[in-house]
């Protein structure tokens, strides 16, 4: 059997989803990229399945989701945030992280439905200083947001996961394992689910490995994986995903997705 080509997000929050897959008897090859790149690779057929931004599921007509597995949060996510030097109500322009697609769509939904602002959005490489030199606020995701000391920089932080749960009362699903029909066997799906279970059990070790001896980052990463991240695509998470995709479709950010489709 040929190896399954996986594309995984290259941030700390995705590491629990690939725990132990390198020991699965050569079943998988794994490459790590930004979320937006994972989406492009899957679209172009360069990988068989990827941890793609959840908005990208709605933008494709033939993807299937691996059941039970997601990168999600309920309340503060810590690693997807809007930074500004001014009150949110005064923001008129936002630099958006080019690595992101779901977070940008979520930001647009929150600006319209929760924040009451209609800013111009400009895609910029994920560098908070450069982003804030161009716009009133900066949307930053992943490790760049998680390990950014916004208080030392004198910035206000608006956590998008917290804002979503505050508005809807639901979790937010940032990414899912997805691929086209037939791309994953039942055994491969079971391996992805088992990797998630192992990763959830070994979060402290994952953060320690990832931070490479930086004690402060190890502690922050361990708290993050333990307290902020959720990896179960359960009924509550599915309800949050369905609501987000509905709101995104209502705003023209994605086609109406209809029912969620699974392997």
Residues of the chain above pLDDT 70, percent: 98
The rounded distance, in Å, linking the Cα atoms of 8 and 34 is: 8
Architecture of domain 80-168: 3-Layer(aba) Sandwich (3.40)
Q: What's this model's pTM, rounded to 2 decimal places?
A: 0.95
Phi and psi at residue 153, to the nearest 5°: -85, 0
pLDDT in tens, 22-73: 887 688 999 999 999 999 999 999 999 999 999 999 999 899 999 999 999 9
Determine whether 133 is exposed, middle or buried from the number of CB atoms within 10 Å of its CB (0-12, 13-18, 19+). exposed
Band of pLDDT at residue 259, cut at 50, 70 and 90? confident
pLDDT in tens, 120-131: 999 998 889 999
Please tell me if the domain spanning 4-71+172-234 has the same topology as the one spanning 80-168: yes
CB atoms within 10 A of CB 145: 27
Question: C-alpha distances in angstroms, 20 versus 3, 15, 51?
Answer: 15, 10, 16
Are the C-beta atoms of 136 and 155 separated by less than 8 Å? no
Band of pLDDT at residue 1, cut at 50, 70 and 90? low
pLDDT in tens, 172-231: 999 999 999 999 999 999 999 999 999 999 999 999 999 988 999 999 999 999 999 999
Question: C-alpha distances in angstroms, 63 versus 35, 80, 139, 144?
Answer: 16, 25, 27, 29
- Residue extents of the structural domains in the chain: 4-71+172-234, 80-168
Band of pLDDT at residue 2, cut at 50, 70 and 90? confident
Residues of the chain above pLDDT 90, percent: 90
Is the confidence at residue 241, as pLDDT, over 70?
Answer: yes
pLDDT in tens, 206-222: 999 999 889 999 999 99
Are the C-beta atoms of 139 and 104 separated by less than 8 Å? yes
- From 3.40.190.10, 1.10.10.10, 1.10.1750.10, 1.20.58.1610, which CATH number describes the 4-71+172-234 domain? 3.40.190.10
């Amino acid at each position: 059997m040929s190896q399954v080509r996986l594309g995984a997000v290259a941030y700390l929050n995705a590491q629990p989803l690939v725990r132990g897959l390198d020991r699965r008897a050569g079943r998988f090859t794994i490459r790590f990229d930004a979320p937006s790149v994972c989406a492009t690779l899957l679209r172009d057929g360069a990988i068989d399945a990827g941890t793609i931004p959840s908005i990208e599921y709605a933008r494709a007509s033939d993807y299937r989701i691996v059941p039970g597995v997601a990168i999600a949060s309920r309340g503060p996510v810590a690693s997807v945030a809007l930074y500004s030097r001014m009150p949110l109500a005064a923001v008129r322009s936002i630099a958006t992280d080019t690595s992101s697609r779901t977070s940008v769509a979520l930001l647009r939904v929150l600006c319209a439905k929760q924040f009451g602002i209609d800013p111009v959005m400009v895609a910029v490489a994920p560098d908070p200083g450069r982003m804030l030199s161009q716009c009133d606020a900066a949307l930053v995701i992943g490790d760049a947001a998680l390990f950014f000391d916004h208080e030392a920089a004198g910035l206000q932080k608006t956590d998008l996961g917290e804002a979503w749960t505050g508005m809807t009362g639901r979790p937010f699903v940032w990414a899912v394992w997805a691929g086209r029909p037939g791309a994953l066997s039942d055994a491969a799906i079971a391996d992805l689910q088992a990797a998630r279970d192992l990763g959830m059990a070994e979060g402290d070790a994952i953060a320690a490995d990832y931070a490479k001896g930086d004690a402060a980052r190890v502690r922050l990463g361990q708290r993050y994986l333990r307290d902020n991240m959720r990896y179960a695509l359960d009924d509550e998470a599915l309800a949050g995903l369905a609501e987000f995709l509905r709101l995104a479709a209502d705003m023209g950010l994605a086609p109406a997705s209809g029912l969620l489709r699974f392997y």
